[in-house]
Structure 1
Amino acid sequence: MTASALYSHSTTGPSEDSVAKRPRGRPRKTEEERDDGNRRQALLTAAARLFRDQGFDATSTRDIAAAVGMHSGSPFYHFKSKDALLFSVMEEGMHAALARQASVLRGASTAMNDPLAHAPLMQIRRLIRAHFDTLLGPGNDFVPVMLYEYRSLSPDQRASLARLQADYESAWTPVLEALHASGHLRAPVKLSRLLILGALNWSVQWFDPAKGASLDELTDAALALFLKES
């Protein structure tokens, strides 16, 4: 604030030129405010990693703040509580998974006029590969936290995540139905979806990229395990 504004009741008021040049509208954001989005994302990423490595109960907000170079109380500027941060981690993971899944279902190969781009076998391969990317690829802490810390959520938070999970799983149903109709899938569709996703999710417990298996190889193995050759 300028000195003229501080002394607006003095006998000598601000000049017409200074009034004309006074900025209008919302005040310019501070550097801290401009960086809010980045700092919030940094907190989510750090929290996801720590919740996964240490568990929700064993991780303090001080741990999370320290991981991103903040003061211990700074996370509460972005999130009301550690519980709210946990929910945001899971929500972020589900939104990213949905976006990745939608992208692969649109099909990169359609750009090359591939007539098989939307064939059920191609679609299920893309779904499985995208799911492995979500669980095991770069920035892969978010959804595994949801798998193992779901009990820590409130009923309202669980209901909100359940809607996102339903949206995610709904993309699998028509593909599995087509595979069932063609004879590639012999088990009932609903049970197949639950069993396939359950098996894929368990990979976060045992997968070790240092042992040599790639995500493509995992995808091929899953297809061979769950689907019958035509």
Structure 2
Amino acid sequence: MTTRRSQIKRVAAKLFVESGVAGTSVRDIADGVGLLSGSLYHHFPSKDAIAFAIIDDFLRDLISRYESVHPHVHGMRAELRALVHSSIEIATRHPYATEIYQNERFYHGPNAPAPIAAAVQRAHEFWLDTAFRARDSGELRAELDPPEFARMVRDGVWWSVRHHRESLAEQGASIADTLLAVFVDGGAVPAPTQQSGPEASHDIRSRLAVLEARVAALENGPDE
């Protein structure tokens, strides 16, 4: 059953993405919920408190999901797959939270609320730990910097979530697979390996014979 508090957060989240926190009034939120403006204050002291609650709820669920899944998988591919799929799953439950966080510098800037900053750091640690373990095990290419690799994969996830917000529930698995293919396996088809052994030698001799025949034909000129 949806509580009034949850309803307020859901309506406010959409308005915050459309107009920004500063551009959204308490009355806008109250109208969207079907409350008088004064009644809204029985549930939240301010619109900033609503924005905080939206992001805080998202981060709590995200970390809880990471903690429940990540320790049970091992190896770079399995760990990243767990993190990517978990991220998209939780983002589907909180469809506007990541955009509010990205759009509002107050929540990710140097003066971000301490609980938000601490939760974000905790979430980042899962990605960093995976990258460092992959480096130490030899699964991550030696020329790649683990923190930068972790940041690029993580940012790829959250920007994909933002781009596909309206279809995330239906396309989440496909989006996750694409991210994993690009960042873990690489997007390019491997170049074919050069042949070696008797078959390769025969192929080379055949090509040389064709070239020699063409040269001979050119030297002899056209038939009289």
Measured in 2, the distance between the counterparts of 1:132 and 1:106 equals 18
Task: Kindly indicate whether the alpha-carbon contact (under 8 Å) linking 1:185 and 1:226 is maintained by their aligned counterparts in 2.
Answer: no
TM-score between both structures, scaled by the size of structure 1 = 0.68
Q: 1:152 to 1:166 in 2, by over 3 A?
A: closer
Q: 1:168 to 1:152 in 2, by over 3 A?
A: closer
Measured in 2, the distance between the counterparts of 1:120 and 1:196 equals 12
Q: Which has the larger radius of gyration?
A: 2
Measured in 1, the distance between the counterparts of 2:128 and 2:96 equals 26
Measured in 1, the distance between the counterparts of 2:109 and 2:84 equals 30
Task: Kindly indicate whether the alpha-carbon contact (under 8 Å) linking 1:61 and 1:82 is maintained by their aligned counterparts in 2.
Answer: yes
Measured in 2, the distance between the counterparts of 1:61 and 1:209 equals 25
Q: 1:78 to 1:120 in 2, by over 3 A?
A: same
Q: How does 1:86-97 map to 2 (within 5 A)?
A: 86-97=51-62
Match for residue 120 of structure 1?
A: 76
Task: Kindly indicate whether the alpha-carbon contact (under 8 Å) linking 2:69 and 2:82 is maintained by their aligned counterparts in 1.
Answer: yes
1:105-128 Cα distance to aligned partner (Å, 9 max, x none): 255xxxxxxxxx433321210101
Match for residue 203 of structure 1?
A: 160
Measured in 2, the distance between the counterparts of 1:104 and 1:161 equals 22
Measured in 1, the distance between the counterparts of 2:70 and 2:4 equals 32
Q: What SS class does the counterpart of residue 37 from structure 2 fall into?
A: coil
Task: Kindly indicate whether the alpha-carbon contact (under 8 Å) linking 2:76 and 2:139 is maintained by their aligned counterparts in 1.
Answer: no
TM-score between both structures, scaled by the size of structure 2 = 0.70
Measured in 2, the distance between the counterparts of 1:196 and 1:183 equals 18
1:137-181 Cα distance to aligned partner (Å, 9 max, x none): 143112321121233789765332110001111122222222223
Task: Kindly indicate whether the alpha-carbon contact (under 8 Å) linking 1:100 and 1:130 is maintained by their aligned counterparts in 2.
Answer: yes
The CA deviation at 1:203 is 1.6
1:189-221 Cα distance to aligned partner (Å, 9 max, x none): 111111112222212443266599822222222
Match for residue 143 of structure 1?
A: 98
Task: Kindly indicate whether the alpha-carbon contact (under 8 Å) linking 1:185 and 1:228 is maintained by their aligned counterparts in 2.
Answer: no
Q: What SS class does the counterpart of residue 227 from structure 1 fall into?
A: helix
Q: 1:124 to 1:42 in 2, by over 3 A?
A: same
Measured in 2, the distance between the counterparts of 1:199 and 1:67 equals 32
Q: What SS class does the counterpart of residue 171 from structure 1 fall into?
A: helix
Task: Kindly indicate whether the alpha-carbon contact (under 8 Å) linking 1:87 and 1:153 is maintained by their aligned counterparts in 2.
Answer: no
Query: 5+ residue gaps in structure 1?
Result: 1-34, 108-116
Which has more helix, going by share of residues? 2
Measured in 1, the distance between the counterparts of 2:19 and 2:82 equals 32
Match for residue 65 of structure 1?
A: 30
Match for residue 13 of structure 2?
A: 48
| More displaced stretch, 211-220 vs 51-60 | 211-220
Match of 1:171 among 126, 133, 155: 126
- AA matched with 1:130: S
Q: 1:57 to 1:170 in 2, by over 3 A?
A: same
Q: What SS class does the counterpart of residue 123 from structure 2 fall into?
A: helix
Query: How many residues are matched?
Result: 184
Alignment root-mean-square deviation, CA? 2.9
1:34-90 Cα distance to aligned partner (Å, 9 max, x none): x9x922222122211221233212211112112222111122122222222222221
Measured in 2, the distance between the counterparts of 1:95 and 1:81 equals 21
Match for residue 216 of structure 1?
A: 173
